[in-house]
C-alpha cells in the first residue's frame, strides 16, 4: 500500500510546476483518484491508512516549511545583531580577561574582588605557567576596582591571576583590562569582538563601554 501511494505521489508531483513541492487540496484529490484507478480489485486500499499517510506527508512538509522560515528568521536576526554590534567598533571597553600579550614591558589592569575582601594576591605567570612576580594588593576600601601594574617584563604572553582567601578556601577575583574594539564577527550564532590588544571577547565579558 505504501509503495502504491508513493508511486501515485510521484506521478502527481511530476505534473506540478517545476520548483513546487507543496500538496494542496487539488493535489490530494488527484492522488486519491489515481489510487482508486490503480487499486487491486481483490485487495482494495485501506482508506484510513491512505489518509494517515497523506497526513504524514502534509506534516513533513509543514515541518520543512517551518524549518525554512526559522532559518531565515535566525539569519535575519544574526545580520541585525552584527550590524548593531558594529556600532561598538572604535569604542573603549574594559573586559574580564587575565590573558595578556605584552610588547612594551608594562602589564596593567584592575581586579574586582567581592565587597569585604581586605587583601588580594596578584600573580603574574609566563606562557609556560611559571610564576614571574607576585604582589599583594590592599582592597579594604569600598572601591569596586583596584588597579595593578607590572613593569619591566619581556615581550610575550602572560597570565594574571587574582586570588584571596575566605576562611581556608582560596577564591579568585576577576581580572579586568582595557582595550578598544577593532572589529566584530558572528560565528555559529555567537558574537565575537576583536580588540586592539589582539584578543577576542564576548559581549558578556564587557564591564564598561565608553566613547
CA nearest to 120, candidates 63, 175, 187, 184: 175
Its pTM stands at 0.59
Spell out the domain ranges in the chain.
2-86, 90-210
Query: For 90-210, which CATH class?
Result: mainly beta
Q: What is the pLDDT of residues 132-187, one digit of tens each?
A: 999 999 999 989 999 999 999 998 999 999 999 998 999 999 999 999 999 988 88
Those residues with Cβ within 8 angstroms of residue 193's Cβ, 6 or more apart along the chain or in another chain: 85, 88, 93, 181, 183, 184, 200, 201, 202, 203, 206
Rounded mean pLDDT for each run of 10 residues along the chain, 211 residues in total? 46 50 59 64 59 63 60 56 77 94 88 94 95 95 93 92 94 95 87 90 91 79
Give the pLDDT score at 38. Answer: 65
Give the pLDDT score at 72. Answer: 55
Amino acid at each position: 500500500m505504501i509503495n502504491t501511494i508513493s508511486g501515485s505521489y510521484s506521478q502527481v508531483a511530476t505534473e506540478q510546476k517545476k520548483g513546487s513541492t507543496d500538496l494542496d487540496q487539488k493535489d490530494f484529490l488527484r492522488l486519491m483518484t489515481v489510487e482508486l484507478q490503480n487499486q487491486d480489485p481483490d485487495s482494495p486500499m485501506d482508506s484510513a491508512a491512505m489518509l494517515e499517510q497523506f497526513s504524514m506527508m502534509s506534516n513533513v512538509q509543514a515541518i520543512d516549511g517551518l524549518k525554512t522560515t526559522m532559518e531565515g528568521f535566525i539569519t535575519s536576526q544574526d545580520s541585525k545583531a552584527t550590524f548593531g554590534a558594529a556600532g561598538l567598533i572604535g569604542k573603549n571597553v574594559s573586559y574580564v580577561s587575565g590573558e595578556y600579550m605584552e610588547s612594551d614591558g608594562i602589564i596593567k589592569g584592575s581586579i574586582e574582588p567581592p565587597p569585604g575582601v581586605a587583601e588580594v594576591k596578584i600573580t603574574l605567570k609566563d606562557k609556560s605557567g611559571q610564576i614571574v612576580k607576585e604582589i599583594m594588593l590592599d582592597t579594604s576600601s569600598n572601591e569596586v576596582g583596584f588597579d595593578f601594574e607590572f613593569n619591566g617584563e619581556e615581550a610575550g604572553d602572560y597570565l594574571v591571576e587574582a586570588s584571596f582567601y575566605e576562611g581556608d578556601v582560596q577564591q579568585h577575583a576577576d581580572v579586568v583590562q582595557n582595550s578598544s574594539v577593532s572589529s566584530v564577527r558572528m560565528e555559529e550564532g555567537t558574537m565575537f569582538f576583536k580588540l586592539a590588544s589582539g584578543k577576542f571577547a564576548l559581549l558578556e565579558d564587557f564591564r564598561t563601554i565608553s566613547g
